[in-house]
């Protein structure tokens, strides 16, 4: 504010808030009072202060429309040396336990892996053993079959009779081959011998002639 504006405000206040109330109070309220001027002056001053206070409160604040920015308060808590030491010790214990659990987990994982590998090897070994047993059984069966065939062949070749000595057409019941007199002799079991009167009869029975 400049000086001229202040002067106008003071004069306006003196006139309306002091001189006018003083005049009205002196003329109407305290006209019959012995101390008319004193009471009028005091009353005017009180009215001036009351109205001035009301006027000052009614003036809007320039900063009232602007919301104050929110302030963030940081609370810094000071930790004592003892608490800091205990916190570090606790952290150290927790780290140690964590490392211990990690080691146990790794050990358990390695053990499980080893068990799986061992079980796999055992299964492969058992499969090989079964395969060897089957192969051996097949080999023994083949040998037994060959021995049986060889035995039958030996029995046939070393039977209790010779076809050349019979002087007749003789057929073998097992091989369905017949021999005629004059061919090479063939030993066979007499229980398997079938005699024919002619080659036509032998052929009609489903037999064929020996090659030698």
- Asked if residues 179 and 163 have their Cβ atoms less than 8 Å apart, the reply is yes
- Which is nearest to 189 in space by CA: 161, 148, 153? 161
Of the listed ranges 12-21, 123-132, 155-164, 191-200, the one predicted with least confidence: 12-21
**Strands of 208-209's sheet in order across:** 193-196, 169-172, 177-179, 208-209
Instruction: Report pLDDT digits (tens) over 45-65.
Output: 777 777 777 777 776 655 544
Instruction: State how far the alpha carbon of 98 is from the alpha carbons of 4, 7, 84, 103, 182, in Å.
Output: 82, 83, 21, 9, 104
- pLDDT, residue 94, reads 92
Is the model more confident about 103 or about 154? 103
- pLDDT, residue 123, reads 92
Tell me the chain's radius of gyration from C-alpha atoms: 70
Kindly report the average pLDDT of the chain as a whole number: 77
- pLDDT, residue 155, reads 45
Confidence of residue 133 (pLDDT cuts 50, 70, 90): confident
pLDDT(37) > 50: yes
> How far is Cα 13 from Cα 18, in angstroms, rounded to an integer?
7
User: pTM for the whole thing?
Assistant: 0.28
- pLDDT, residue 25, reads 67
* 149 C-beta neighbours (distance < 10 Å), count: 10
Question: Three-state DSSP class for 46?
Answer: helix
φ/ψ of residue 162, rounded to 5: -125, 130
């Amino acid at each position: 504010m400049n000086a001229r504006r202040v002067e106008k405000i003071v004069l306006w206040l003196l006139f309306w808030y002091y001189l006018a109330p003083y005049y009205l109070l002196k003329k109407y309220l305290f006209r019959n009072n012995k101390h008319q001027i004193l009471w009028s002056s005091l009353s005017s001053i009180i009215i001036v202060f009351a109205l001035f206070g009301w006027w000052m409160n009614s003036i809007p604040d320039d900063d009232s429309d602007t919301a104050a920015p929110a302030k963030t308060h940081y609370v810094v808590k000071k930790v004592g040396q003892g608490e800091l030491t205990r916190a570090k010790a606790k952290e150290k214990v927790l780290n140690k336990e964590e490392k211990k659990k990690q080691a146990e987990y790794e050990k358990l994982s390695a053990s499980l892996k080893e068990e799986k590998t061992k079980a796999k090897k055992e299964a492969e070994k058992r499969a090989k053993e079964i395969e060897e047993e089957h192969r051996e059984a097949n080999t023994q069966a083949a040998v037994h079959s060959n021995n049986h065939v060889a035995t039958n062949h030996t029995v046939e070749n070393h039977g209790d009779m010779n076809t050349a000595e019979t002087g007749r057409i003789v057929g073998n019941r097992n091989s369905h081959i017949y021999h005629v007199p004059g061919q090479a002799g063939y030993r066979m079991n007499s229980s398997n011998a079938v005699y024919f009167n002619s080659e036509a009869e032998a052929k009609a029975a489903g037999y064929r002639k020996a090659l030698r």
